Amino acid sequence: MNQRAIVLYLHVHQPYRVRHYTIFDAGVHHNYFDTPYEDRTSNERIIHKVAEKSYLPTNKYLLELLQKYPEFKLSLSITGTVLEQLERWAPEALASFQELTRTGRVEIVAETYHHSLAFFYSREEFEAQVRMHREKVQQLFGQTPKVFRNTELSYNNDLAYWADKAGYKGILTEGWDKVLDWRSPNFVYRPAYTENIRLLMKNYKLSDDIAFRFGDRGWSEWPLTADKFTHWLNESGDATNFNLFMDYETFGEHQWDESGIFRFLHHLPGEWLKQPGNTFMTVSDVIDAFEPVDHVDVQQTITWADTERDLSAWLGNNMQAQAITGLYALEKRILGTGDLALIEDWRRLQTSDHFYYMCTKWFNDGDIHAYFSPYENPYEAFVAFMNAYHDLLFRLSKKGVKI
């Protein structure tokens, strides 16, 4: 009997949103991320809301599933910025994640602590953030990540080469048609120019059926049941692994409880495990279990976002480009101060979400962007960010750094 596994991988992340920060704050208040609780950009309020709507109920269901089905396994990536916020404002939600990992069947995936795009701007900074994340995961979950994912599942040959050298056994990205061509994402691959590392590619069709289309009453497949979904998988022909990669907040936040998403999750393992040979694997398990079927060459950066599957949602317009290049241009000067608070603020500003909020692709993808943004429009996001940038300059200047 051939084994076929669902590889469920959920990404947990919250940024430190920049408040309505004006030029009159620059040089006066350095609290870019603090705002009254009722404000749209209040990080504390948002973490409370997401914990209540998503983290706590989802973890409750996941724990039940782990207890009920010995075969059930999943993988999580949790950024440093969300872990800090959970520690500070929602410790019960953090405890519920720790309870999951204590089952030994939940694997934590490596990434940058600050959910940044540092790989594309500064290799040193990128490595520092990966190190910070590894230490945080070891401290909170007692495990050392073995598989890597870069922010927004951004990926290219360079990154795979780096991850291979850094000793990771696997790396995750989008199963984008332009890269896979005629091939299926439902197998293990090997990145081009590497030997040891393996590549897992998201089955975006199946993942997005859950993450994006689940609650859409206009969708021809609505309502999606666990029964129907597993039927699709069972009828998929040749496959070893179904890579269901999505934002953790799909459960309860992007798809509300009312949509039936929790019932779907609750029934999925039972339905899937009915057929002999069907199982669940973590990202490490699947790499151990199956040999790569081919190598995949990705010369241009791909991501899991938007219809373009590139970095254009973060770096596609000049506001985004100016903001991010301005920020990374400060690297040496900021790190040179040795001022930990300043360095941390600079790193928090690297979180990719800030640039996502500045995206001006209004149509098709734009509505998704608007849903996730705490700002009225991309311009407001840009101005708040740049004012914080100006304040970084002010702080450098006060320390006698030439600017």
Residues carrying an active site annotation: 152
Rounded CA separation 263/58 (Å) = 11
Rounded CA separation 25/16 (Å) = 18
Q: Which of 290, 360, 368, 399 binds other proteins (CB under 8 A)?
A: 360
Rounded CA separation 169/182 (Å) = 25
Residue 56 C-beta: closest distance to other proteins, Å: 39
Alpha helices by DSSP H, 142-213: 157-165, 177-180, 204-211
Rounded CA separation 199/186 (Å) = 11
Kindly state whether residue 389 participates in binding other proteins, applying the rule CB under 8 A.
Answer: yes
Kindly state whether residue 27 participates in binding other proteins, applying the rule CB under 8 A.
Answer: yes
The first and second tokens of residue 26, run together, are 């620059």
Rounded CA separation 126/104 (Å) = 29
Q: Which of 82, 89, 53 is nearest to 140 (CA)?
A: 82
The size of the interface with other proteins (CB under 8 A), counted in residues, is: 29
Q: Which of 317, 350, 351, 352 binds other proteins (CB under 8 A)?
A: 317
The kind and range of the H/E element at 169 are none
Q: Which of 10, 46, 82, 383 binds other proteins (CB under 8 A)?
A: 383
Q: Which residue, 278 or 317, has its beta carbon nearer to other proteins?
A: 317
Kindly state whether residue 319 participates in binding other proteins, applying the rule CB under 8 A.
Answer: yes
Kindly state whether residue 322 participates in binding other proteins, applying the rule CB under 8 A.
Answer: yes
Residue 28 C-beta: closest distance to other proteins, Å: 5
Q: Which residue, 172 or 386, has its beta carbon nearer to other proteins?
A: 386
Is residue 204 within 8 Å of residue 162, measured between CB atoms?
Answer: no
Q: Which of 22, 67, 138, 299 binds other proteins (CB under 8 A)?
A: 22
Residues between 199 and 228 that touch other proteins (CB under 8 A)? none
Sheet-wide strand order for 170-174? 147-148, 170-174, 198-202
Is residue 163 within 8 Å of residue 148, measured between CB atoms?
Answer: yes
- Token pair 């990080």: residue: 43
Kindly state whether residue 324 participates in binding other proteins, applying the rule CB under 8 A.
Answer: no
Q: Among the candidate windows 23-31, 153-161, 173-181, 301-309, which touches other proteins by CB under 8 A?
A: 23-31
The kind and range of the H/E element at 193 are none
Residue 303 C-beta: closest distance to other proteins, Å: 22
Burial (Cβ within 10 Å: 0-12, 13-18, ≥19) of residue 27:
middle
Q: Among the candidate windows 124-132, 147-155, 195-203, 318-326, which touches other proteins by CB under 8 A?
A: 318-326
Q: Among the candidate windows 5-13, 178-186, 244-252, 319-327, which touches other proteins by CB under 8 A?
A: 319-327
Q: Which residues make up the interface to other proteins (CB under 8 A)?
A: 22-24, 26-28, 317-319, 321-323, 326, 360, 377, 379, 382-383, 386-387, 389-391, 393-394, 397-398, 402-403
